[in-house]
Amino acid sequence: MVEYIKICRPDHWLKNIFIVFGHVVAWALVLNFRLDWDLARLAFLSLIPACLIASANYILNEILDAPFDAMHPTKRHRGIPAGKVKVPILWVIKFALIIGGFLLAWLWNFNWGYHAALFLLLLSGLVYNVPPLRLKDRAFADVIAESFNNPIRLWLGYYALVDTHHVPPLSIVLSWWFFGALLMTGKRYSEFRFINDAELSGRYRRSFKTYTEKTLILAMIGYANLFCFCAGVAMAVYPQLHNLVFVAPVIIAAVLVYFHHAMKEETARLEPEQLLQNPWIILCTLATAALTLWLLLTPHPYAKMLHLLGPLVL
């Protein structure tokens, strides 16, 4: 039973904390920083169906990737390539998770925007894993497709709290997408160096036949700049977000820390998921989140400080 639970990857549910970003966007731009028990309850409940659908996608990923995982230095020990689980049982668990996820969303009366985002989360797993599309085998398209889960999670959090008459700003959606692409490219870079064998890495993942260390580094730089640009547009356009200009230096520091650890020699020996568990990366993430929350709730400190950067018109 433990092996079946491992394939559902409950340890990866932590990624759904990105749904909270959607909650914060709705809270700041639509709900005018209103707090009450009902909103807190909806925010918490919105995480559960997403975790179930994510696990269903992980099962599909493991089933279809089993022949390739058998050629990976460590993934060959996973349940399917190691013969520890039965695939028919995994299919049953997968469909049970899908039904359970949508049933809970319906019972908790989430609006159609939340249901649509939940369906997109399920669909993204199919597009990413299932032939003939199987975007995970296509260089650069694999990162774009996998990181699209970030906007999906934003929509899940957003529409869990507000109705579908409201739409999250495109600048914020794109910045969150590019941020995910940065993380996913770093993961590819770490994994590429971890295997450290061009022929073996190409057999394990077809996109690695195209990738090189140079192209992956350039892609990370590009996504980091696009993320900062789109985030800057959102901060400039929406008055509720003006204060967040002061979080930009912390964000840049966090990105630099991520680059530093992704490129260290010892990182090449780590599993890609371990890269995101680095204490410095976690610390920068928590510091960014705490400063962002404080600035959102602080009345316009920029009015007295931005004059140092140039004339300010209020």
Residue 266 lies in domain: 169-301
Task: Kindly state whether residues 92 and 212 are assigned to the same domain.
Answer: no
When mean pLDDT is compared over 72-76, 98-102, 234-238, the highest value belongs to: 98-102
The stretch 269-287 carries a mean pLDDT of: 67
For residue 275, pLDDT over 70 is answered with no
For residue 264, pLDDT over 80 is answered with no
CA distance 158 to 168: 7
Task: Kindly state whether residues 243 and 288 are assigned to the same domain.
Answer: yes
CA distance 47 to 217: 33
Task: Kindly state whether residues 160 and 11 are assigned to the same domain.
Answer: yes
Task: Kindly state whether residues 110 and 195 are assigned to the same domain.
Answer: no
Model confidence at 267, pLDDT cuts 50, 70, 90, reads: low
183 vs 109, more confident: 109
pLDDT in tens, 301-312: 555 555 555 554
DSSP symbols for 215-242: HHHHHHHHHHHHHHHHHHHHHHH-GGGG
287 burial via Cβ count (<10 Å: 0-12, 13-18, 19+): middle
186 vs 156, more confident: 156
Model confidence at 83, pLDDT cuts 50, 70, 90, reads: confident
Q: Is the pTM of this model over 0.75?
A: yes
Task: Kindly state whether residues 102 and 238 are assigned to the same domain.
Answer: no
Q: Write down the pLDDT at residue 134.
A: 85
> Residue 132: is the preceding peptide bond cis (ω within 30°)?
yes
Task: Kindly state whether residues 220 and 112 are assigned to the same domain.
Answer: no
Contact 97, 53 (CB under 8 A): yes
CA distance 210 to 314: 51
For residue 314, pLDDT over 50 is answered with no
165 burial via Cβ count (<10 Å: 0-12, 13-18, 19+): exposed
CA distance 126 to 169: 27
